[in-house]
Structure 1
């Protein structure tokens, strides 16, 4: 586990493409996996666009061509063979996670660490799919991964300390800080943040205040860079809903019951920035 040059990234959605971008930007070779060429092409276009933007805003970052040149995209998990660390980033759906991790486990040698990037599903549950659950841990990247300074590393019930040390070293190589926490639904960040976001939605749902006023209060009074509803739109309201459903299911605690307005917006396809409309309207590139 000493050579961490070749990183496998499974899932090329918003977070997965950001994770691939982060490691390519920090000098790693990346194998990016998703289900089809169209999704992979869209991810590469997003990475290239973001790399050009970050290049204008930050010093000492490689240009878009260099970043994309370090990313090999494939539609088959078999391409993970030869990687030294794998990070899974697919949607917050247990059945899909279970299937993908079973396929990852079948491809990789037993000494390659596997990180699940999830916001709510317990890592110990994901690790149970693997023949060697000791090699599985969680890494929770915040959006957007190339910009956010810190990640949450999650220790599952049987995670090998050497695997944790490997993940911590990899995060440092990527230029980020980390905090390691024990496994619990939602971990630290989402267990707290999802409560705040959901309660903000209830305020709008009940007519206590409009979305703009809720967000403005949080930004002005508490110094938040984004209000809770702007944050929800950035994450994706569909992802917020799945996260709340997972935490609610695991704890069986009514305080995590998703707001009806959240469900309504997801059913209407108004899932935030990526769809062009959530609690706010956005231009879609």
Structure 2
């Protein structure tokens, strides 16, 4: 039974997962290699909870209880008492491998390990641990507190007990899960990011400008956000990394990253987080850059 959940990585995803899990009533241990990042995540969570109270979506007592369930840790060793550990570090396989190797040195035999990876093989990551049968993928959507879906991804060695426990856990935190096979980029990114890449090709080839392409998809396909606006929100470096995974993992030319996407990432134009991507975010209103 899961009572205490540790989150490794206190970035946007890790902080969002921590907020969601603590709000649902679980004790949460939040860790990041950067103590400053952990404190930033806690401040963001407190701000978000206060906003929910102000909006009438949470009462004051629930806010206080949620904050009490959140605590921070300075080392991986301090996470050994958790029933479930969710890794939400950078989307870099070597970083994730090192985290799991470090975690496995002191864990209880019953602890379940999960990764929030959006693209990397669950089976391959599980093989770096001493418990592949207790290893599973839990791909949360961004922003975590608002998005309802979690992709649950079983590796080849994931046990039925682990799978069942995680499905129950995902439901208990108010999310809906979809079961995804362990293929490159799973379901959501397998469909979503190539669509974004194709929109970038349309821009690259002069089919339309940024505003035309985003307006076309918002009004013509009823998308809440245009594909180029969405790319900026996700991060162009993340989109490029996913396209590389698809291109290399499936060996199909239809997944070739658009040269314009590569050029933007090389320029450091990563979207919202860098202040410039397909839109310029330096002013009050984002302005298309092409």
Which structure: larger Rg?
A: 2
Cα distance, 1:102 vs structure 2: 0.9
- Runs of 4+ with >6 A deviation: none
**Consecutive unaligned residues in structure 1, runs of 5 or more:** none
- Among residues 18, 28, 35, which one is paired with 1:37 in the alignment? 35
Q: Which residue of 2 aligns with 1:152?
A: 151
Q: Which residue of 2 aligns with 1:226?
A: 225
Q: Which residue of 1 aligns with 2:95?
A: 96
Task: Within 5 Å, give how 1:241-280 maps onto structure 2.
Answer: 241-280=240-279
TM-score (normalised: structure 1): 0.93
Q: Which residue of 1 aligns with 2:161?
A: 162
**Consecutive unaligned residues in structure 2, runs of 5 or more:** 285-290
TM-score (normalised: structure 2): 0.91
Cα distance, 1:275 vs structure 2: 2.0
- Among residues 43, 49, 58, which one is paired with 1:60 in the alignment? 58
**CA 1:15/1:245 → structure 2, altered by over 3 Å: closer, same or farther?**
same
Inter-partner Cα distance in structure 1 for 2:69 and 2:166: 20
Q: Are 1:197 and 2:188 an aligned pair?
A: no
Q: Which residue of 1 aligns with 2:177?
A: 178
Q: Are 1:72 and 2:71 an aligned pair?
A: yes
Of stretches 273-282 and 87-96 in structure 1, the one that deviates more from structure 2 is 273-282
What CA deviation, in whole Å up to 9, does each residue of 1:40-82 have, x standing for no partner? 1221222222223333446236665543332212231112111
**1:121 alignment partner, SS class:** coil
Inter-partner Cα distance in structure 2 for 1:281 and 1:69: 39
Of stretches 53-62 and 109-118 in structure 1, the one that deviates more from structure 2 is 53-62
Q: Which residue of 2 aligns with 1:117?
A: 116
Q: Which residue of 1 aligns with 2:236?
A: 237
**1:106 alignment partner, SS class:** coil
**2:225 alignment partner, SS class:** coil
Cα distance, 1:247 vs structure 2: 2.1
How many residues of Structure 1 are paired with residues of Structure 2 in the alignment? 283
Cα distance, 1:283 vs structure 2: 5.5
Q: Are 1:48 and 2:60 an aligned pair?
A: no
**1:145 alignment partner, SS class:** coil
Cα distance, 1:214 vs structure 2: 1.1
Inter-partner Cα distance in structure 1 for 2:56 and 2:181: 34
